[in-house]
Structure 1
């Protein structure tokens, strides 16, 4: 399962921008374009057959904008997304960075899973998911539209927009709730979607970097959502790891939302970068040798940390034989 891992360099980073209708996603895209940090390619997904948002993208040549109107990317647009990415990379002047603006109703997970596909990762690298919120209408939208909770649960950065239209108490409540739903996300308050590009682009959220606050803290969140870190100081047996992967990650897509980290295997000298979004995963051998230590951040609902840690420790036992 992991035997074909290899280091892939010079991939084009991709940031997915989600958020409910009217939150300010297109305004954010335009603000990032005006800052001109990279040569950008933009893919805009409209829910209906009549495209509007693509025409609102400013200051980019038409050939650098692809508008997908055949359907929501989270439902039927996987092939359309791959085709749009291939067209961008095939241009004589390929983009240095790609932005994907989702429709306001989109579940971001299928798009993220497409970007984690090994064939897509040969050319592109998922950098993060930015979720834009309308501060004043946050709680009404969250109550009436469950899609918004998914857009938050996987966010690497949360932009609390229209902060000029909400008082301080409401802004604090919105930030607290969104942070509980997205425990590893950076939170940015702004208005008119005015966010510096270096706050949301090239964040390497899917590099599996583990910061000290994440490593040392086990969080308990609303609606059963929690994050915790699994750590083991002995190299893992490949077969035992495959069992853990299947039973504790892939077979629990409704509970295990996100996993990222570094693995050390007995038979692979290099450190292995592991990523999973629900039941889709990727694994790549890096250039540096491992130090026998494995660490995984797990984000999910109603998970028993102690059970996961015990099962993870079992991955370093003797090889399983028939």
Structure 2
């Protein structure tokens, strides 16, 4: 598979420039929290995609009648058969098509990914019955029809500050299962109710979230007061310059070589099952064929455990780095900077490759060693 081959569609532009691609914001709200969803719905140019239960609870079910909301089915009943790494949501594909293929397409789509309430008195709100955010991301990344009509702009996850602070104080696991995965790959984490905590407790919650998530940004404050403009137009899953990669890797990559950083969720009792983040960095111009073969092996060896992949790869001395982003087995690439015309001379600061892998039980030693063996271009 040619992972370094650019997508046929530029971000924001449909095929043959006939129809602009519609950005999709993926929203994973806190259970029984409606303020953030209502804030998104306040934009008349936004169309919501959610279950009827979610819209009814938020008092937004009437948007369906006026064409500003579309309904989706239950998660487990709408998946295609097969292994977890290949499953997609067919109902979501249909909803996106119906929303975009209309005479006046919306300016933005907001897809709401719900999670179920606790299954028992001793279960956490974040139990494994939660709907899988990663499957939704994989659907939006893997389906060619969605790629033609729309693109994933960013994932926004809402977290209850008081509940998180209580778990920290009691020494409990902060999040488990799909909820932990959603937080780890989120582009924005809205901490709802942080104003109710002390300064120290609020800082502790933010620090715990930043340990789990090395890519996104934590936004504290009431979700209703969160500025929507800070949660949209992130362009976090396309080929524009990934500033977060350099920020995550840290200042200065040192001499020619490779650096590995591994982080895990705090207070985790089962490190093998938790989500970890691996950062690989290397100087020099990598051989494009060898790099493509390495990406192929990474996807083939751990597709169901690879929750998110981001990379800026230097494979040429006279062209921009290639940005590769995706989830599970679906990867897309674009030249750094959004695919501007012409070539750019790669200076010393850009002759660096940065790779971030977020996943479960990833073999960081094997990944680091294989990344180091990629041949340099002659």
- Tell me if the contact between 2:113 and 2:133 (Cα under 8 Å) persists in the aligned partners: yes
TM-aligned CA distance change 1:199 to 1:242, over 3 Å: same
TM-score normalized with structure 1 length: 0.81
Give the distance between the partners of 1:318 and 1:188, measured in 2 at CA: 41
CA distance in 2, matches of 1:135, 1:57: 28
Q: How does 1:241-252 map to 2 (within 5 A)?
A: 241-252=291-302
Which residue is 1:88 aligned to? 99
Please say if residues 157 and 189 of structure 2, whose CA atoms lie closer than 8 Å, have aligned partners that are also in contact.
Answer: yes
Higher strand share: 1
Change (3 A) 1:165 1:250: farther
Question: What secondary structure, in the 3-state scheme, does the structure 1 residue paired with 2:324 have?
Answer: strand
The Cα shift of 1:32 comes to 2.8
Partner Cα distance (1:73, 1:15) in 2:
23
TM-score normalised by structure 2 residue count: 0.70
Change (3 A) 1:60 1:192: farther
Supply the distance in 2 between the matched residues of 1:191 and 1:4 (Cα, whole angstroms): 39
Match of 1:132 among 158, 161, 168: 158
1:162 aligned residue (182, 193, 198): 193
Provide the secondary structure at the position in 2 that maps to 1:122: helix
Change (3 A) 1:173 1:93: same
Cα offsets for 1:191-226 (capped at 9, x unmatched): 253210121111122235134422326463335523
Alignment partners' CA distance in 1, 2:203 and 2:316:
47
| Number of the residue aligned with 2:126 | none
Task: For structure 2, list consecutive stretches of 5 or more residues without a partner in the other structure.
Answer: 14-19, 81-87, 116-129, 252-260
SS of 1:136 mapped into structure 2: helix
Go from structure 1 to structure 2 and tell me whether the alpha carbon gap of 1:84 and 1:142 turns closer, same or farther (over 3 Å shift). Answer: farther
1:221 match = 264
The one-character-per-residue Cα deviations of 1:178-202 (angstroms, maximum 9, x if unpaired) are 2211122211112253210121111
1:43 is matched with which residue? 49
Contact 2:7 2:332 in 1 (8 A): no
Q: CA-atom RMSD, angstroms?
A: 3.4
Q: 1:90 to 1:248 in 2, by over 3 A?
A: closer
Q: Is the 8 A contact 2:322 2:333 kept in 1?
A: yes
